[in-house]
Chain A
Amino acid sequence: MSSLVYLVTHKAKNRIREIFRRPSELIVLLIVAAFAVFVIWTGNMSRASETLRDMRELHAILLAIYLVVFVLIAKNGFVNGAAMFSMADVNLLFNAPYKAKTMLFYGLFSQMGHALSLGVVLIYQYSWLRSAYDVTLVKLLAIMIGYAMTVFLAQMVAMLIYSLTSGSDQKCRISKGIFYGIILAFLGVFGYHVMQGEGEILQRVVAAADLPIMHFLPVAGFLRFGVVGALSGNWIHVLIAVACFLLCIVVYYALVSLLRIDFYEDVLKAAEVSFSAITARKEGKAQELAPRNVKVGKTGITRGEGAAVIAQKHKIENRRSRFLLFDLMSLIFAAATVIFAVIIKDAVGAFAFSVYMMVMSVGSGRWAKELTMPYVYLIPEPPFKKLLFTIQEQLPALAAQSVLNFILLPFLIDCDWLTAVAMMVARFSFGLLFIGVNLLLSRIIGGNAGNKALLVMVYFLFCILASVPAIAAGVAVHFVYLGFADIAFSFLAVFAVNVLLSILLLFLCRNILASSQNNNR
């Protein structure tokens, strides 16, 4: 047996064995599987709605998802390439007597498996896809494969970009210009057709996304073309897309061979970055998402004494990380909320979507990173005071992001300004609540949880439970004032209950910074 086959099969075998050795992993797997079965079951039970939505909406959604995934992954090529190999691969296999091309195939094969596993998350969208667009399980599989192929090609493009541009700022700038130039050109065409189109905004967006020229969008365009072919039974379109996919791999392989790209050095950086991220996770540290070239700017903290200096430090760190009030993910989430609101034409639904998207992002603030460092525990100040200054940095961003999520709604859907403002403050209060839940969970479980996936599930469960009082208050207010009051009052009730609950959670965690073990770190 080839040693690489041995490596791949034994890694897979040990991974499966590990699942059965660790009860927490098995529990997570069972919950994930049970939830997937539940979603499929409810999807099949509900069947398609009597009035199906326009299928072209789904086509537009697929184009948007594939494009965002492609751009987010491929752009890593301007920084550190693609994490196609692990550090163990670099240290053990690259030194071994293998041909570089064999290694490349091994990397691509490993990447394919990774990409497919990422596509599985789309199963959880089955229920609504079924009821809104009559997407069957087979059709969902086609969407998942399209997603996996997008991830795979995006990784390949990232690696190629890095191979061709690393070490030369000029080449990097030019490639960046070409990369974003192409994407922006397509977006320009898209925007132009949206502006010039007729009918409601949603119809214009859908029509623009369905233009034939959009099939030529790099990767996302032709893969969406193939997936839509699979959804509508047009197998010629599927074959064309598969041919394009294979052509990309052949072109990549040919480029690596012809240009004699020594990709070992090119993957090293990505492998190191990935390795340090894994090591940091194991050590309970949060990684800094820093830009490659940090503009240091004005130096010196200059303000704040005692616990207050923590907040001042966060301001400086955020400035250098280029995180002022929004990061890329928060902008994407805001855009997704607006698109979702336009599609469903319902303010309450858009609000629920926005809060759902916020659940994961709240825990990635700088305050959460601070808890992984020793200084915040060592500083001789009262723990509650330190806690308040530690979470302070999150509040302006939370407020600004809440405004951004809903400020466009009065222009786009049936939503008055009072409701939009009430939604902003209610979303802000959910942000506070989720910070409180994060702290409480750190207090109870913290860094000792053996399985991160299980921790995420417990976190979601806690978030749902913590949200119940505010939702109940909102519903109660709505029923009390039904018929003569605006839904805005419900959102204000949500705000009030969430703030009270957040204060309670903060109070319960007031000693979390007395010692790192209160946070189980």
Chain B
Amino acid sequence: MLNVNQVTKKYGKLTAVQNVSFQIGNGEIAVLLGPNGAGKSTIIKCISGLLRFDGEIQINGLGNKTLEAKRALGYVPEMPAVYDMLTVREHLEFILRAYRMEDDGTADALLERFELFDKHDKLGKELSKGMQQKLSICCALVHRPSVIIFDEPMVGLDPHAIKQLKEIFLELRDSGVTVLISTHMIDSVENYWDKAYIMKDGAFVAERSASDTNEESLETLFFRLTESGESA
């Protein structure tokens, strides 16, 4: 479970995120939508513990800076983060060791799914940007987190990897994992979200639940709110 309560993030005089609150339960997929510069990556970095903030963020009921919360969290950064001098397989071994976990076969399964298994001895620097992104996703999933946040995960992925990732989203939901996806590719998440939050200028301008009976599609709502200046 992820609980974000009254979070504000300022860079000097600039307020990047203003008083944002939301909650995502176990087995729920939430999407965070918004134009460039809306504050999506900032709130995601606050949740992942990379940024300081005012307010409260809890992961499974624990403050996000605690070691227990960090252990429960998986994070896919916006820019793929891989080590040039580690092989693909060593990246996953590094994460498992850092999180003090045994490999139960998840690592190989992830490499298979993302078509990286035959490249397990390739160095990070030898991977294309798309493959680096796949590896970054594998690193976030391999320690089997119960809360996972994706920042623009589809960027640079090939169709096969996008298909796999979408399946993984659903599998994570079915296994009770809390999933938060930040994206501006609305059509890529249209079919499987449970909650959607639209951000603009550092604040939420709309929240929608999949169970809401509303004729207006998410895409139409998004453009109405972000281009016209209306609020929901």
Contacts and interface: CB of A to CB of B under 8 A. Distances in A.
Interface of A: 283, 288, 290, 294, 296, 299-301, 304-307, 309-310, 312-313, 316-317, 320-321, 373-375, 377-382, 514-518
B218 to A, nearest CB: 29
A283 B79 contact: yes
19 contacts: A288-B125, A294-B123, A299-B90, A299-B121, A301-B93, A306-B100, A313-B83, A313-B94, A320-B85, A321-B85, A374-B75, A379-B99, A380-B98, A380-B99, A515-B65, A516-B45, A516-B50, A516-B51, A517-B52
B50 A301 contact: no
Contact of B49 (A300, A304, A515): A515
B73 interface: yes
Contact of B67 (A312, A313, A381, A518): A381
A378 B49 contact: yes
Given A290-B85, A306-B100, A375-B98, 5 more contacts: A374-B81, A375-B81, A375-B94, A375-B139, A378-B50
B97 A288 contact: no
A316 B50 contact: no
Main secondary structure of the interface of A (DSSP, over half): loop
B51 A517 contact: yes
Nearest to B64: A515
Given A299-B90, A517-B50, A517-B51, A316 B85 contact: yes
B123 A296 contact: yes
A378 B51 CA distance: 11
A93 B84 CA distance: 31
B215 to A, nearest CB: 41
B67 A288 contact: no
Interface in B138-158: 139
Interface of B: 45, 48-52, 65, 67-68, 70-71, 73, 75, 77, 79, 81, 83-87, 89-90, 93-95, 97-100, 121, 123, 125, 139
B45 to A, nearest CB: 8
B123 A380 contact: no
A294 B67 CA distance: 36
B97 A515 contact: no
A514 B67 contact: no
A373 B83 contact: yes
A516 B41 CA distance: 14
Contact of B70 (A307, A313, A378): A378
B91 to A, nearest CB: 9
A174 to B, nearest CB: 26
B16 to A, nearest CB: 12
Given A294-B123, A379-B98, A380-B70, A301 B51 contact: no
A515 B52 contact: yes
Nearest to A518: B52
Nearest to A514: B65
B146 to A, nearest CB: 13
B90 A301 contact: yes
Contact of A304 (B83, B97, B125): B97
Contact of A290 (B67, B125, B139): B125
Contact of B83 (A306, A317, A380, A382): A317
A320 B87 CA distance: 11
B98 A309 contact: yes
B79 A305 contact: no
B98 to A, nearest CB: 4
Given A309-B98, A378-B49, A517-B52, A299 B71 contact: no
A481 B47 CA distance: 58
A378 B73 contact: yes
A283 B78 CA distance: 12
A48 B154 CA distance: 67
Contacts of A379: 70, 98-99
Most buried by B among A305, A313, A316, A518: A313
A273 to B, nearest CB: 12
Contacts of B84: 288, 290, 317
A62 to B, nearest CB: 37
A309 B94 contact: yes
Contacts of B98: 306-307, 309-310, 375, 379-381
B67 to A, nearest CB: 4
Best-surrounded residue of B87, B94, B125 (most CB of chain A within 10 A):
B94
Given A373-B81, A515-B50, A517-B51, A316 B95 contact: no
Most chain B CB inside 10 Å of its own CB: which residue of A301, A305, A514: A301
Contacts of B45: 516
A307 B50 CA distance: 17
B85 A377 contact: no
B48 A378 contact: yes
Contacts of B86: 313, 316-317
Contacts of B90: 299-301, 313, 316
A516 B89 CA distance: 26
Given A306-B100, A313-B83, A375-B95, A380 B65 contact: no
Nearest to B73: A378
B77 A374 contact: yes
A307 to B, nearest CB: 8
A309 B125 CA distance: 20
A515 B81 CA distance: 16
A84 B206 CA distance: 50
A33 to B, nearest CB: 29
